[in-house]
Structure 1
């Protein structure tokens, strides 16, 4: 069905604008708003504008969601997930809210598009249970207008039986203000993004009932979900509670996000960060926030000049069977260094990936690509042995694009007896 699009004129405003859009049939819809703003996620005090979007049906029933214009002057499509809506006309009002944490600037709406989502049955199920997220209000009433803003929602599914399917959702934030320091985020997970397990639901497809619902509470506690759902749906309502991206079902925030679960994570075959290869927009926000907050950070372990100074190693291993930990040893500035910074503490564990998934990402600082790769060794830090089936190395460009520079061609087997192997003889892709 042809979507309703408003693109005949640009609406430049500092307060509010209105549109009328039409849904040709009942279905799952996204409200896509292409906009620019005179803000800059890199610039302190001028990071974004907060847009309030009201969608009202013909019976004057309305829903309200919010958009943080983190892409600033770059024309960008901000998407609001509206779930099921009925056939009919809808009035859309977009307001430029004044908030105390950021300077309110002019916003230009270039296009408004009510788009019906064409999904498979399993994708539809994932969208029907996707959590609505209220914004964090720890340092201020509107933290996410300038820091740790939610950018995307990923999920994976597990068939538990013929009737029961489990869906687990992970929110992607631009960073985490507290928790793992910046250098360790890169060393352990290959990003300064914060990707957090948010909500997990077991669904009986035969009876169409929720069997169990849980979420990640403060201190990483796995809690039973006892909160509210969006009226007439199975979408739980949660709020970002902590400065390291944990959640709460108790709501005391005045702004909220409705983000569709667009990223499917095949956790059996892919690292959790695999989506970064195809989402330069997310990477770009990560770069800007890291350069604003971490380049001159007062805590040495938090200091990162820029994520563009790192190589990103996507590792595919049999780790689930071995529970081993690896890192990389190489030359940087004429000195031998390790991607893990040879770091270990009871609080953070190793300065390298040590969780249970077999495919993961490690990022390490470099000065020149080829000298770095030619000196590169992979090292077993913990465990009896591990087989690394493949490693792909990427450069991160300033525009957020990841560029493949090298990959290993043969499996690498590390043991206690042979704990460090040179992989400098890589082949160009």
Structure 2
């Protein structure tokens, strides 16, 4: 293997050429470029430059491990350090890094032609917390996917998301401290035209400053991150975009046809509402080009992508702490709907279906209940608000707030409850599974799931609740 050495003022970058994909990584149809040594990107020092050799043209992603010593997403003024990544002086993406612990991240770089390219890594001091000084990167790998591979098709149409620039928050760099994009993924389905495919792209943000309030997020969605589809497009049997087929999720959750600019085949969008809906006109200086290669198994909730990227729960919880959306420990009680320490919650996914239409102002929802071994109280996911019950029939995440210090061994029973919103339509619910149930550990990351159940329990006007799991 031939080695190319590049010495910069701030780091010595050793790049191994024509490597192979790591175990578990999708195989490319060509060589990859790997950098295995630490790279430090410092404030007030020259940018770090790293050469990349591409054997075959294609859509590129960059995998790396990143840490920012001295930063903490939970502490105002220390939230993050931002690295701006360019390829051949073309701005590709920002990387928001928080915490001294190394996290794996995967970003997109767009199309790269065969040959040598230069990555430039800049410490974006104007976007970074004042207390941040450096970002440490290692295990950097650039992989290109050639035309003809399924990864190429997904990457070819992946949208670029520019940052949020709301005047009320007073900074063009808002996503460096709040509602930052964490991960992206795609879903693929047959289109109405035979041989055509519909690609849908979604993003997980660390929170939403507008829209659903924090207690309702925990009850109805099982987390305080924001998860939204942002863009979809139809491609024909040759992999070409069907003209006029692409849409995006606009303000007020409208689906609008995309009429903005493209960078190659990548639609340029911008986060332009406080609940992370999109515009197709961009003017924010921050830019996020998250790799969408991950996908969601068809039988799993959207939160499955958080479960497989467990660090997202830690960022989620720390943002709630910093923004004062968590009850003080002295006031914390599961009796009130206010959100307590997020380690006090059981995080579960429920699978259910509804026998008849369940839309409009009146509908029937589902609540999850938990009784502990030391009492008769049943703690419910929807607290006291019927509209916080689960309406959707997809595998759906929810949480149940429990007394501080509760563990898996303290749970005696799990029950399901039919909740009427408005006028009872008479709709019956079938509950057929609990897909997972866990607590967050001291590090705010999911512990081992201890709760699964499969069956078929019918809830209707006569039978409004049932115990589905007992210790």
Separation (CA, whole Å) in 1 of partners of 2:448 and 2:369: 22
1:376 aligned residue (387, 396, 414): 414
> Equivalent residue for 1:213?
246
1:280 aligned residue (306, 310, 317): 310
Separation (CA, whole Å) in 2 of partners of 1:286 and 1:35: 18
Within the alignment, does 1:313 sit opposite 2:348 as a pair? yes
Separation (CA, whole Å) in 2 of partners of 1:95 and 1:190: 36
**Structure 1 residue 377, shift from structure 2 partner:** 2.1
Q: Which runs of 5+ in 2 are unaligned?
A: 1-17, 20-31, 359-363, 421-425
Within the alignment, does 1:393 sit opposite 2:426 as a pair? no
The verdict on how the C-alpha distance between 1:43 and 1:220 changes in structure 2, with shifts beyond 3 A counting, is same
The 3-state SS of whatever aligns with 2:283 is coil
The verdict on how the C-alpha distance between 1:252 and 1:296 changes in structure 2, with shifts beyond 3 A counting, is farther
Q: Which moved more, 1:101-110 or 1:179-188?
A: 101-110
The 3-state SS of whatever aligns with 2:197 is strand
The verdict on how the C-alpha distance between 1:105 and 1:250 changes in structure 2, with shifts beyond 3 A counting, is same
Separation (CA, whole Å) in 1 of partners of 2:239 and 2:108: 26
Within the alignment, does 1:156 sit opposite 2:187 as a pair? yes
Separation (CA, whole Å) in 2 of partners of 1:35 and 1:266: 27
**Structure 1 residue 241, shift from structure 2 partner:** 0.5
Superposition map of 1:195-206 within 5 A:
195-206=227-238
Within the alignment, does 1:235 sit opposite 2:235 as a pair? no
The verdict on how the C-alpha distance between 1:166 and 1:326 changes in structure 2, with shifts beyond 3 A counting, is same
The verdict on how the C-alpha distance between 1:117 and 1:314 changes in structure 2, with shifts beyond 3 A counting, is farther
> Equivalent residue for 1:65?
93
Answer yes or no: is the 8 Å Cα contact 1:21–1:114 preserved in 2: no
> Equivalent residue for 2:152?
124
Separation (CA, whole Å) in 2 of partners of 1:389 and 1:321: 16
Superposition map of 1:133-212 within 5 A:
133-138=161-166, 139=169, 140-160=171-191, 161-206=193-238, 208-211=240-243, 212=245
Superposition map of 1:293-372 within 5 A:
293=323, 294-296=325-327, 303-319=338-354, 323=358, 324-331=364-371, 335-344=377-386, 350-355=387-392, 357-367=393-403, 368-369=406-407
Answer yes or no: is the 8 Å Cα contact 2:365–2:391 preserved in 1: yes
The 3-state SS of whatever aligns with 2:470 is coil
The verdict on how the C-alpha distance between 1:13 and 1:101 changes in structure 2, with shifts beyond 3 A counting, is closer
Q: Which moved more, 1:166-175 or 1:388-397?
A: 388-397
Answer yes or no: is the 8 Å Cα contact 1:163–1:206 preserved in 2: no
The verdict on how the C-alpha distance between 1:420 and 1:303 changes in structure 2, with shifts beyond 3 A counting, is closer
Separation (CA, whole Å) in 1 of partners of 2:208 and 2:337: 11
Q: Normalized against structure 1, the TM-score is what? A: 0.87
Answer yes or no: is the 8 Å Cα contact 1:66–1:255 preserved in 2: yes
The 3-state SS of whatever aligns with 2:155 is helix
> Equivalent residue for 2:109?
82
Q: Which runs of 5+ in 1 are unaligned?
A: 345-349
Q: Normalized against structure 2, the TM-score is what? A: 0.80
Q: Which moved more, 1:118-127 or 1:41-50?
A: 118-127
The verdict on how the C-alpha distance between 1:9 and 1:274 changes in structure 2, with shifts beyond 3 A counting, is closer
Separation (CA, whole Å) in 2 of partners of 1:107 and 1:18: 15
Separation (CA, whole Å) in 2 of partners of 1:130 and 1:123: 11
Question: Highest relative contact order (Cα 8 Å, sep 6+), 1 or 2?
Answer: 1
**Structure 1 residue 290, shift from structure 2 partner:** 2.1
Answer yes or no: is the 8 Å Cα contact 1:153–1:263 preserved in 2: yes
Answer yes or no: is the 8 Å Cα contact 1:184–1:351 preserved in 2: yes
